[in-house]
Homo-oligomer: A and B are copies of this chain.
Amino acid sequence: MVQQIEVGPRVRLNTDRVLHAAVSLADDVGIESLSMRRLAQELGVVPMALYKHVANKEELLDGMVGVIVGEIDPPVRDAGWRSAVRQRILSAREALLRHPWARQVLESRTNRTPAVLEYMDTFIGMFLAGGFSVDLTHHVMHALGSRMWGFTQELFQDPAGADTEGKAEVPPEVQAAMFQEMSTRYPKILQIAMAAKHDDGPVVGPGCDDQFEFEFALDLLLEGFDRLHRQDWTSARAKLVRG
């Protein structure tokens, strides 16, 4: 699991080492178990030593986000806006999927760190380079929202995730009872959940093809953006129509 020990001459701490240690500690033990004290221990150092390199825990989290954002590929060159945007979002998605805690941290934070701003700036650049008006680009960015990072709120999240080991298996008869309960109380949820499972396999469990769902919504939006772009959509006109 977590590497530690670290004998020999104590390596000098620096912000980068702190940040990367924090990232891999969060990868290993989960974000909820990441504390300044625990991180210090991992680095073989007293808690207060960290405060020379990050001002506080908030800044630590911002720095960790920065590390992950740094793993996202820059926009591909010489491609249309649509494929450039699509590829970059899917690259972001891959980076975020490597660090399951990152989604939550990204969302919980009002990020205006240089790394995040840099990402957004080049992101916006893809639309502008594709001939989008500044106006449309602005609204398009809002429409994407967190999808820009390659994720959306999952509808039917697995409970907690993390340690699947500790939890006792649900015995089949209890599972059947839960199923019964669901089908009478929430029949429609069950219906669409069953539809997803149909061609996959297990009736209960995470049978959704998340990647398909993500691309479904993404392409729907991209299609819409494209249409508006070709129509020379402006927000002023839209507001007029809306009244």
User: Which residues of A pack against B, CB within 8 Å?
Assistant: 104, 107-108, 110, 112, 114, 117-118, 120-122, 124-125, 128, 134-135, 137-139, 141-143, 145-146, 152-155, 157-160, 185-189, 191-196, 199, 208, 212-214, 216-217, 220-221, 223-225, 228, 235-236, 238-239
In contact, B213 and A117 (Cβ under 8 angstroms): no
Known contacts being A192-B138, A223-B224, A239-B212, is A104 close to B108, with CB within 8 Å?
yes
In contact, B160 and A192 (Cβ under 8 angstroms): no
In contact, A191 and B124 (Cβ under 8 angstroms): yes
In contact, A110 and B223 (Cβ under 8 angstroms): no
In contact, A187 and B155 (Cβ under 8 angstroms): no
In contact, A121 and B224 (Cβ under 8 angstroms): no
A206 to B99, CA, bound (A): 31
Q: How many copies, total?
A: 2
A152 to B238, CA, bound (A): 21
A117 to B104, CA, bound (A): 22
Known contacts being A212-B239, A216-B238, A220-B143, is A107 close to B192, with CB within 8 Å?
no
Interface of A is mostly: helix
Determine the chain B residues whose CB is within 8 A of the CB of A213 once the complex forms.
139, 142-143
Shortest Cβ-Cβ A-B pairs, 8 listed: A146-B153, A143-B217, A142-B213, A145-B152, A138-B192, A124-B188, A220-B224, A121-B186
Known contacts being A139-B216, A142-B216, is A134 close to B195, with CB within 8 Å?
yes
A236 to B24, CA, bound (A): 39
A108 to B214, CA, bound (A): 19
Determine the chain B residues whose CB is within 8 A of the CB of A155 once the complex forms.
120, 141-142, 145
14 contacting pairs across A/B (C-beta < 8 A): A117-B186, A134-B192, A134-B194, A137-B192, A138-B192, A139-B213, A141-B155, A142-B217, A143-B220, A145-B155, A146-B153, A199-B236, A216-B235, A221-B221
A112 to B236, CA, bound (A): 41
Determine the chain B residues whose CB is within 8 A of the CB of A141 once the complex forms.
155, 192
Of all chain B residues, the one with the shortest Cβ separation from A157 is B110
Known contacts being A137-B192, A157-B110, is A146 close to B142, with CB within 8 Å?
no
